Amino acid sequence: MDLANPGVLKRLMAQYGLRPQHRLGQNFLVDGRVLDAIVAAAALEPDDLVLEIGPGLGTLTQRLAERAGRVVCIELDRGLVQVLRETVQKASSNVEVIHGDAGRVDLHKLLEERMAPGQKAKVVANLPYYITTPLVMRLLEEELPLTQVVVMVQKEVADRMVSPPGSKTYGALSVAVQYYTEPRVVLRVNRASFMPQPDVDSAVVSMRLRPEPPVDAEAADFFKVVRAAFGQRRKSLVNALTTLGMDKATVQAALEAAGIDPSRRGESLSLEEFAAVARKLFAPDGGSACGGW
């Protein structure tokens, strides 16, 4: 059956007595052109393992199963799990449906138990929008054996992910995504591509995991500086960074040593500039007088 057909989906939901759950962000993708673009962006190979989060009724799962070696789906809604197991999983021997919360499942264990030694995996998903940011950050921060993440997200979130320094949408999420990956927007998606239609437009973002960080700084120190800088967006760096527990004179000296004007704000700094500040603030030789750090 063609799960991208709205009529098929409506009949399937009626058969199982289901309705889309707004609280779970259930907006099912029914645009074949968009589905093809997502699969193409993932550049799937026959031996790839794909992790899909929030498969819904399986519209994307069906396409992934045609290209990947194995597709592992995590779905929170027990009713949808039943449908997926009796339709997509039964029709495709390379699909496995897991009932669980993707925010709590041990993803390391899940992947390691299903991967051959040295194999890498990809995440391809139409993410529920209410958990997008924490879920993306979990995928990036936990050092999972991933090579690529291709996700459908709210358009505004996609814009933040790829924003350059100095833009209105540049923030902590932009820095984090660009630190861990090379992101690009693959496709803008109109809300009419979903059933039921969400209140916002969407975008497909491809994130290729970097083999190494793009800047020279300890990750923990780097992100301390990033969080402090964006935690007080309206403040100058010299004032925002005092929340790290350092006095203003110490922060100013570190910024000047890094070649950064203390009056600048966090949204104007590039990744390399954040790294330079982190190196000076947390210099192991004490060159920036880091107080009790």
Segments making up each domain of the chain, as ranges: 6-209, 219-281
pLDDT of 285 strictly over 90 = no
Mean pLDDT of 88-111: 96
CA-to-CA distance for 110 and 115, rounded, in angstroms? Answer: 9
Question: Does 3.40.50.1970 match the CATH number of domain 6-209?
Answer: no
Q: Cα–Cα distance between 229 and 235 in angstroms, integer?
A: 8
- Reported as a pLDDT band with limits 50, 70 and 90, residue 18 is confident
Res. 293: pLDDT tops 50: no
pLDDT per residue as tens digits for the range 130-184: 889 999 999 999 999 999 999 999 999 999 999 999 999 999 999 999 999 999 9
Residue 291 — very low, low, confident or very high, per pLDDT cuts 50/70/90? very low
Query: What token pair was written down for 154?
Result: 């709210």
Q: What is the pLDDT of residue 130?
A: 84
The CATH-assigned architecture of domain 219-281 is: Orthogonal Bundle (1.10)
Whether the per-residue pLDDT at 240 is higher than 80: the answer is yes
Q: What is the dihedral of CA 212, 213, 219, 223, to 10 degrees?
A: -150
Compute the distance between CA of residue 267 and CA of residue 166 in angstroms, rounded to an integer.
5
pLDDT reported for residue 286: 44
Q: How confident is the model at residue 2 (pLDDT cuts 50, 70, 90)?
A: confident
Residue 5 clears pLDDT 80, i.e. is over it: yes
**CA 140 to each of CA 170, 177, 182, 275: distance values in angstroms, whole numbers, following the listed order:** 18, 8, 12, 18
This prediction has a pTM of 0.92
Amino acid found at 45: E
pLDDT at 284: 64
Across the chain, the runs of DSSP E, i.e. the strands, are 28-29, 49-53, 70-75, 95-99, 121-126, 146-154, 181-189, 194-195, 202-209
Domain pair 6-209 / 219-281, same fold = no
Between residues 120 and 163, which one has the greater pLDDT? Answer: 163
Per-residue pLDDT, 153: 96
Give residue 39's identity as a one-letter amino acid code.
Answer: V
Residue 292 pLDDT > 70, yes or no?
Answer: no
Q: Which is more confident, 254 or 232?
A: 254
Tell me the average pLDDT of the chain: 92
- pLDDT bucket at 23, cuts 50 / 70 / 90: low
Residues 6+ apart with CB under 8 A from 61: 52, 55, 71, 73, 84, 88, 95
